[in-house]
Amino acid sequence: MSWLDANRDYVLDMLLQHVRLSVPAIVISVLVAVVLGRVAWRWPRAGTVVLGSASLLYSVPALPLLIVIPVLLGIPLRSGLTLVVALAVYGTALLAGTAADAFGSVDARVREAAEAMGYSRAGLLWKVDLPLAVPVLLSGIRVVTVSTVSLVTIGALVGIPSLGNLLTDGFQRDIRAEIVTGVLGTMLLAVTLDALLVALGRVVTPWRAATPAGGAS
């Protein structure tokens, strides 16, 4: 605890950096994965290619990705943008399949009835498909969130500051308290974001909390 007391500002600064890197990566992952998932669900043949490439991308280890991306995009290796792009690629690859499943989880009878009532194509997407896909989608977003927050730490290995710096710095200077603080801080951030997602899920899907009817048919 004494180490933490002495380095409160540093830790808070790194925590803030960590949030700044992980949250945009998560948001971009969700946006891109939902679009890809929709495409994959709508056109299954193209979907096989899209989801196949996604899983192939996902099998590229994160640290090498951090090194390849700046070369490909011509951005500096040590910039936060590199990490955000790498983690967004990673998160998208992880989430695209789930997003396709999420659209697939929407009851076909409900979609049909909505279409027959006269929802336009856009209306069907925004008012029917997306809201009903939220539960499955959210389970995937939670996985991506925890994984992304944890992965941000490896940025420290190439010099992108985050709570990961506590891990590398603690190792090099032999300060266990610093590493423990880094580990717990990362986990705490992951758990907090996860809890926020669960709460958000409750707010946007009020119908799921409603108690179902009794046995009557």
Partner 1 sequence: MGIEFRDVGKTYPDGTVAVTGFSCTVPSHRTLALVGTSGSGKTTLMRMVNRMVEPTTGSVLIDGRDVRELDKVALRRSIGYVPQAGGLLPHRRVVDNVATVPVLTGTPRRAARDAALALLERVGIDPALGRRYPAQLSGGQQQRVAVARALAAEPNILLMDEPFGAVDPIVRRGLQDQLLQLQAELGKTIVLVTHDIDEAFRLGDEVVILRTGGIVAQTGTPKEIVAAPADEFVRDFIGADRAERALRTVDVDGRSVVVDGDGRPVGVLE
Partner 2 sequence: MNLFGDALAWITDGAHWGGPGGIDHRVVQHLLVTFAAVALAAVLALPLGILIGHTGRGRLVVVALAGAVRAVPTLGLLTLLGLALGIGIQAPLIALVALAFPSLLAGAYAGIEAADRGAVDAARAVGMSEWQLVTRVEIPLGADVILGGIRAATLQVVATATLAAYISDTGLGRYLFSGLKSRQYDQMLAGALLVAALALVLDLTMAALQRASRPTTRKVPS
Binding residues (CB under 8 A) for partner 2: these are 56, 59-65, 67-68, 71, 146-147, 149-151, 153-154, 156-158, 163-164, 167-168, 170-171, 174, 176, 179-180, 182-183, 186-187, 190-191
Cβ proximity to partner 2: between 40 and 190 the closer is 190
Stretches 18-26, 56-64, 86-94, 127-135: which one binds partner 1 (CB under 8 A)? 127-135
Residue among 76, 53, 51, 56 nearest 66 (CA): 76
Amino acid letter for position 184: L
Residue 114 binds what, of partner 1, partner 2, none (CB under 5 to 8 Å, by partner type)?
partner 1
Binding mask 83-122 for partner 1 (x = CB under 8 A): ------------------------x-xx-xxxxxxxxx--
Cα–Cα distance measured from residue 108 to residue 120, given in angstroms and rounded to the nearest whole number: 16
Residue among 172, 131, 177, 174 nearest 10 (CA): 177
Scanning 153-204, the segments in alpha helix (DSSP H) are: 155-158, 164-172, 176-204
List of E strands, 69-186? none
Amino acid letter for position 86: A
- List interacting residues with partner 1 (CB under 8 A): 107, 109-110, 112-120, 123, 128, 131-132, 205-207, 210-214, 216-217
